[in-house]
Structure 1
């Protein structure tokens, strides 16, 4: 490390100029190029094209209006607080302008006799009509009004609208306006030319349909949304083509292991499971890497399909790996799959961060030597010192909970150098699983580079789950219901959102609830599991619950996925209003796995906000994961639904997947045609809309 220079010898840091500060603020908004600025479109507009007489404006209380007049009085008042109070008058009346925060320069500007044009919401105060903190400008008598609506842009702290407007106008004078879509295509799709659409959105004429601009149904907005969707489709489809240009080891053998495995299963596959298994088996035989997303509602049987895919890889002479986001889920997979495959002579290895050093080293040696045919674990699998001998298939469960980099690291472990192949050109097949169903439009938009398989039926014998929404004040009744269920031989989960006391949220904690239930139910065994327990302690509690030695399990959301205890038929979720829909649905899916009637009780704290009411209402009305996902998308939007920060996926700025589904279909079709017939246009369109941001591609 270079030693730090003494203060006297250090070069003084160059002062940051105003221009550099503005540039940094633009960069924080993602505005680096002229085209970035041009595509930084207004979020709303203000009408400065007309002046309203003050007397007329006084009858328009609650509306934003623009008035103009001479200053007749200006003073600083100190009661009830320091404020600048200006009286503005025209020939019809007067209005008071109040500035609660002001500069000394404003006091000089507001000298009597100066002319001001002020715009803001007019309200009726104690002394007549007034505006608080209006936007204003000093004008000369007869100064012309703008001829277009004034755009208001998304902005950051310290980045004035006036600067943004000037920067965007300047950028518009420099860019190449050439349209990326041909005149024939514009006519066929009934789309505006690019330049005309952009210019209208930045400077809409006063006669434009305000409501169409506001709800983004105006043809200019339609063109922008189509172009954005087209860029995304082109980018993802091109990524799919690039992947297929890479090689993968074909895994063609559905041999002795696969056939024996299916014979010894204690149940028959459902029609949906068999259908998606056939799709996966077909993909695995190709000489390019499979990239398939396996969706299925909670309890639909994705694990056995993944295990059968792994069996095909093993039959073909390769290793398979399954990575899960939590140790509880990974352990659940290990126990279930090892129980199926180990009796058939398959070596299944377990690797997580909590293993003792000696066990971890032994597992890594078996993986590198190739004796480990199937490896199951957590993030520990992506460490540099985990080397596979012949990795042919990567399975990632709950894929949205891993970042792009983590999934890429696992995929790049590849076939191993013993094959004499370039690992950058040969990649394993990849199967991603998700129990969060993705609505079709979202899948078409954000997973356009993937093949998607859906298990859309539940195995026979699963009982429907009845969901009730109950006020927190009825906790005693709920505790009694848990007691009765336990005496009848059933088990129950009691889920809490926090481990420690939080005064800000005032949530009942898991530790407090465990103590309360232990005291209220002295004849029952009450267990506690949360994320801060050591893995061995956590597993010991889960094992005791699985063996029915614990009747009530108090837990945080560590049991959200992967826990399978058929005898558990009652789920209580504390402070359900604090959970998202997807999480509530996952938690509810821990029950209903046996033959007994199952119940989920959602305890909430009054009063409920509008979004919380929507979520709890949805949970009460349906157990269909796809319908829940559709409503969740409506409530949260695609960015939050997909976990944008984790997935690395660039979210749509302009298109709305609820209202613009028809545009997704069109963009998808045009993307396929352009990729096939016009690579020059593809490059130009992607450069315009994504630029250097095309790294958001999924892996």
Structure 2
């Protein structure tokens, strides 16, 4: 068996190691081989209370005591099927009863055999009282035999691992399985080279997993987990290092032309670029000028001017003889981007027209709901290369869209797109080349914040604002205080009276829809929990109710949601921009990109149902002009509710980067190399990207050094295997994000 294990390096199936119930217990968590089981860490540890005399204990206290069994008896339960097993034990001074309520006779027999009269055991549990007799008892205590020596006593007092459980699985089954696996720990795959383990002061892997599953002290648990944390960071960084290496080997269009479109565009800008915009623009120019693909994350708060920076980069692609694509998550945003670009470029976007600039290009829009004739005309311009800039939604990703020479891809609000979406666009480069990619976000979502921490993307941060916007203040409005809610609507009416506009956002369209699932929140211990909230308000019913509010009498109210046709949505937004609608009730279709400088109030109903990033984006829709914005986060939760505290944190954080940290803590890092955008523990089993930032930095240095010396990992087969397993678990077809 040792020889077979040595060749498998930890991949031995558990069927060859464990009993059937142990194998099934592990399989319920997707654990099917030795390597995975040894890295399946306990959720927590229980540390026994100090040994003490039963005479000194009181009801409700945790106790650990060495006792001798004096008497064992059992009887049938009166009210339900099963037996009550009572074991009287003594420490030589006091007696106490160990009480077990057992549904099956075989459990009675199992405990009776282990607790024979005269046997000495170490017992742990909480002291209670028997309701019938008033005598002290410990219900369902933890107990074990121990060797009557100093070493045996220390072993009995060791921390005990507590594993997550599924239905009908006992802790002792999980513990027995991992203890059997430890016998073969020497044959585990070791992704982290031994020299790095030693240099970083880590326990060797066999010792580390022993410390994790059978610790002798609390310090053992920390030392053991430290290896698993570092290993996870190291494998993750090795994946990123491989991707960088792949990029360096892949050809990309070198976008190096200096004009003429870029120069003409800069000359007609109606404002001066900020120092930050100029600096970031130069960094992008340097990166897209390389002959291998680069992936950049352009992050800046709402209103920081990311679109102008991206447009200048797209013009550089056109000047260099290639095309640029701007991918937006919704048709509303794609159409707005198209209008914005046309407005900024003017005659530079009117190639082939009488009033077009001599060096003009064409800017085309492609969405799924376009009429056939418009779509055919757009596709012709894209295929022929006449359209230098193409703006679109997911429609750009279809096989029927063929670019003449795609050199740059800009993805707005990148958290709306999975890895597969970006992969399909990158495959549309010219002649087997890979286009450069810029992804933009106003609020770094958890996955993005984590990627920035671990360094998968070149991160470009735009922190200053052009200063052309008045900004926005945010307030949490608890509906349990009617005065607050009434004042919110009165404030909205005041803004309308001042010729400004109001957005009201609802979580769904109709209130007759099925109730949304429970909201996911953090409890007071920082654990994820689910809570059933009141049913969310809908757009149509809310618009009808608001029409009857006396404060809003005479207000022109419109609605916008996903069930409207593209033409209806566009007509509604045109009326809003024209000032013909005072108050727009909408779903999150207006979350990103909607630019109405006259809008000054954002009211989010049932705000507890929205994510951190969503709320920040929504409040960024107001205060975009000369008038200050106000965002009201309206909630039916109480101040004691965890969701209420989260809303207050959002309202108090004006900076999108601070919100990214909050979002990362609430939602988790998500899948750092695959498709998933968020989810606590979905990807990271041991690593915390906030807590372990210094470890990530160390692992990055080590992993990049290993890949630089051995790009194909010929001398590091265990690392190559760990990378393959990691990517297989994330996405069987995953490529660089």
TM-score normalised by the shorter chain: which range applies?
0.7 to 0.9
1:428 aligns with 2:435: yes
1:667 aligns with 2:699: yes
1:505 aligns with 2:505: no
Change (3 A) 1:273 1:25: farther
- CA contact under 8 A between 1:499 and 1:509: conserved in structure 2? yes
Change (3 A) 1:239 1:386: same
How many Å separate the matches in 2 of 1:359 and 1:655?
50
- CA contact under 8 A between 1:65 and 1:122: conserved in structure 2? no
Match of 2:297 among 283, 293, 296: 293
Partner of 1:568: 599
- CA contact under 8 A between 1:441 and 1:664: conserved in structure 2? no
- CA contact under 8 A between 1:49 and 1:149: conserved in structure 2? no
Change (3 A) 1:247 1:24: farther
Q: Deviations along 1:543-562, whole A, 9 cap, x unmatched? A: 21111100111112221111
Change (3 A) 1:411 1:157: farther
Partner of 1:284: 288
Partner of 1:385: 400
How many Å separate the matches in 2 of 1:150 and 1:70?
27
1:563 counterpart SS class: coil
Partner of 1:197: 208
How many Å separate the matches in 2 of 1:694 and 1:440?
16
Match of 1:152 among 150, 162, 183: 162
Partner of 2:559: 528
Q: Deviations along 1:447-479, whole A, 9 cap, x unmatched? A: 523111111111112213222222212322222
Q: Deviations along 1:71-123, whole A, 9 cap, x unmatched? A: 543223334x6664332211332325253x72243355566984697654443
Q: Report deviation, 1:508.
A: 2.6
1:656 aligns with 2:688: yes
Partner of 2:577: 546
Change (3 A) 1:40 1:689: farther
Partner of 2:6: none
Question: Residues 57-456 of structure 1 correspond to what in structure 2 (within 5 A)?
Answer: 58-59=57-58, 61-63=60-62, 65=64, 69=69, 72-79=72-79, 84-91=83-90, 92-95=94-97, 97-99=99-101, 102-109=103-110, 114=116, 120-126=125-131, 127-134=134-141, 148-174=158-184, 175-176=186-187, 185-186=196-197, 188-205=199-216, 208=217, 210=218, 212=219, 218-341=222-345, 343-344=347-348, 345=351, 346-415=361-430, 421=431, 423=432, 426-437=433-444, 442-443=449-450, 448-456=455-463
Change (3 A) 1:76 1:539: farther
Q: Report deviation, 1:482.
A: 1.1
Q: Deviations along 1:239-273, whole A, 9 cap, x unmatched? A: 11112211011111121111111222222221111
Change (3 A) 1:439 1:476: closer
How many Å separate the matches in 2 of 1:279 and 1:614?
39
The normalised TM-score by structure 2 is: 0.81
- CA contact under 8 A between 2:43 and 2:162: conserved in structure 1? yes
Q: Report deviation, 1:48.
A: 7.4
- CA contact under 8 A between 1:46 and 1:152: conserved in structure 2? yes
Q: Report deviation, 1:154.
A: 3.5
1:228 counterpart SS class: helix
Q: Deviations along 1:194-224, whole A, 9 cap, x unmatched? A: 332222222111xx1x3x56xx7x3332232
Change (3 A) 1:94 1:167: closer
Answer with 315-324 or 36-45: which moved more: 36-45
Partner of 2:35: 35
Answer with 244-253 or 366-375: which moved more: 366-375
- CA contact under 8 A between 1:647 and 1:698: conserved in structure 2? no
Q: Report deviation, 1:536.
A: 2.0
How many Å separate the matches in 2 of 1:486 and 1:641?
45
Q: Report deviation, 1:288.
A: 0.4
Partner of 2:589: 558
Question: Residues 585-604 of structure 1 correspond to what in structure 2 (within 5 A)?
Answer: 585-604=616-635
Change (3 A) 1:182 1:485: closer
- CA contact under 8 A between 1:441 and 1:661: conserved in structure 2? no
How many Å separate the matches in 2 of 1:445 and 1:200?
32
How many Å separate the matches in 2 of 1:518 and 1:248?
56
How many Å separate the matches in 1 of 2:448 and 2:399?
37
Partner of 1:3: none
Partner of 1:514: 543
How many Å separate the matches in 1 of 2:96 and 2:664?
49
- CA contact under 8 A between 1:76 and 1:83: conserved in structure 2? yes
Aligned-residue Cα RMSD (Å) equals 3.4
Structure 2 alignment gaps of length 5 or more = 1-17, 352-360, 516-532
Partner of 2:3: none
- CA contact under 8 A between 1:351 and 1:363: conserved in structure 2? yes
Q: Report deviation, 1:158.
A: 4.8
Partner of 2:528: none
Answer with 460-469 or 109-118: which moved more: 109-118
How many Å separate the matches in 1 of 2:688 and 2:66?
36
Match of 1:677 among 709, 713, 716: 709
Q: Report deviation, 1:514.
A: 0.7
How many Å separate the matches in 2 of 1:500 and 1:583?
20
1:458 aligns with 2:459: no
Question: Residues 3-22 of structure 1 correspond to what in structure 2 (within 5 A)?
Answer: none
How many Å separate the matches in 1 of 2:168 and 2:717?
33
Q: Deviations along 1:560-611, whole A, 9 cap, x unmatched? A: 1111101111111212233222221111111111111221122222424553
Answer with 368-377 or 302-311: which moved more: 368-377
Partner of 2:496: 486
Q: Deviations along 1:136-155, whole A, 9 cap, x unmatched? A: 68x79999885554333344
1:519 counterpart SS class: coil
How many Å separate the matches in 1 of 2:697 and 2:116?
57
How many Å separate the matches in 2 of 1:487 and 1:252?
52
Answer with 21-30 or 627-636: which moved more: 21-30
How many Å separate the matches in 1 of 2:127 and 2:674?
41
Partner of 2:726: 693
Q: Report deviation, 1:490.
A: 0.9
How many Å separate the matches in 2 of 1:592 and 1:577?
22
1:507 counterpart SS class: coil
- CA contact under 8 A between 1:468 and 1:601: conserved in structure 2? yes
The normalised TM-score by structure 1 is: 0.86
Q: Deviations along 1:512-548, whole A, 9 cap, x unmatched? A: 2211111222311011112222222222212211111
How many Å separate the matches in 2 of 1:399 and 1:83?
58
How many Å separate the matches in 2 of 1:440 and 1:413?
25
- CA contact under 8 A between 1:461 and 1:594: conserved in structure 2? yes
Q: Report deviation, 1:51.
A: 7.7
Paired residues, number: 663
Q: Report deviation, 1:433.
A: 1.0
How many Å separate the matches in 2 of 1:640 and 1:187?
29
Change (3 A) 1:409 1:155: farther
Change (3 A) 1:25 1:325: farther
